[in-house]
Amino acid sequence: MTRFIDLSSKYPSTLVQVIATVLLVVFFYLFGGFGLHIDYILNSSAVSSEAVDIQEYISTLGSNRMFFWLLFPFLLVFIVFLLAIKWIHRRPILSVFTTRNRFDWGRVFLSFFLVFIILLITTGIQIYFSDNIVWNLEWVRFIPLVIISIVMIPFQTTLEELLFRGYLMQGLKIKLGSNIIAVLLSGCCFGLMHIGNPEIEAIGYHVLSYYIIIGIFLGCLAVFDNGLELSIGFHAANNIFAALIVSNDWQVFQTDALFLDYSTPEFSLNMLLLSVTFLLVLVFIFKRIYRWNPLKEYWT
């Protein structure tokens, strides 16, 4: 059986096909972003020529409306990307998702609920011992937020998995011939994609190390499990949790979550080590559940 990371070798792509796909992705992402700006212009009493920050969008449109528009471009690009795989690359859409005969929803939901429950436990402990994380529930705002998060965030997270762990990682493997380098480079690209996030300005560029490690971890899951299902579940759980449970005023997801964190923004070495430990535990759990081969066999 062809391994997931090698699936692109069955459907070789030309440079023209790759450039066309990338241009479509960029164009429709930028096009989708105009929705937020147009809505802001139509509803703002004082439109300035200067750049508008997230807080200004929220004060004018409300956090839920701003959050919807923030996610809307990913929905557009998700559709366009799958159409590009089918009609430009002429390859089965399933081949950028998994090696299995059909998409395994069971893996997605197991990964999602496992990660979500672990995050609930660890965050609950943090909330209990912190005076800076306060209860913020307002049903009139929270219910629409739940709907937006459940409907829209999976498009965002699944698209990122398709682009970085499906399309890019498989392409790098063909060009470079190394599983390890393909995983590392796609993980670094995933991390650097977050360089424009507001938390980078609030905390510092060293927080990019967290995103890079997450990207490498998700690439490893795709390699070990021969598909994106576990990565998709993890990514969706992480982002939905960030939107619904604990938010703050310095990250990209600034929502009316159940709790607001007023702590000073930071990302220490201890936090990084705890995150790595959490990821290693997940690899161990998934390995036991799905009976993966010895992990070193996946790098040859």
Per-run averaged pLDDT (10 residues), the chain, 300 residues: 89 94 97 92 73 83 94 98 97 95 97 97 94 95 97 98 96 94 97 93 93 97 97 98 95 94 92 94 96 88
C-alpha 250 chain-centroid distance: 18
pLDDT at 216: 97
d(CA 235, CA 269): 22
Q: What is the pTM of this model?
A: 0.94
Cα separation, 203 vs 87, whole angstroms: 42
Angle, vertex CA 67, rays to CA 62 and CA 70, nearest 5: 130
3-state secondary structure of 69: helix
pLDDT of residue 103: 97
* Residue pointed to by tokens 């579940």: 233
Provide the edge-to-edge strand list for the sheet that holds 246-247: 133-135, 259-261, 246-247
Sign, Cα dihedral of 96, 190, 280, 278:
negative
Q: Which residue in the block uniquely carries the two structure tokens 């930028």?
A: 30
Vertex 230: Cα angle to 224 and 234 (nearest 5): 125
Look at residue 48 in the predicted model and tell me its pLDDT.
61
CB 272 within 8 A of CB 207: no
Q: How many residues does the chain have?
A: 300
pLDDT at 2: 82
DSSP class of 7: G
Q: Please report, for residues 123, 147, 252, 262, 264, the alpha-carbon distance to residue 135 in angstroms, rounded to integers and kept in the order given.
A: 13, 20, 20, 11, 17
Q: How far apart are CA 153 and CA 165, in angstroms?
A: 17
Cα-flanking dihedrals φ and ψ of residue 135, to 5°? Answer: -65, 135
Q: Are 247 and 254 in contact (CB under 8 A)?
A: yes
Angle among Cα 155, 134, 206 to the nearest 5 degrees reads 60
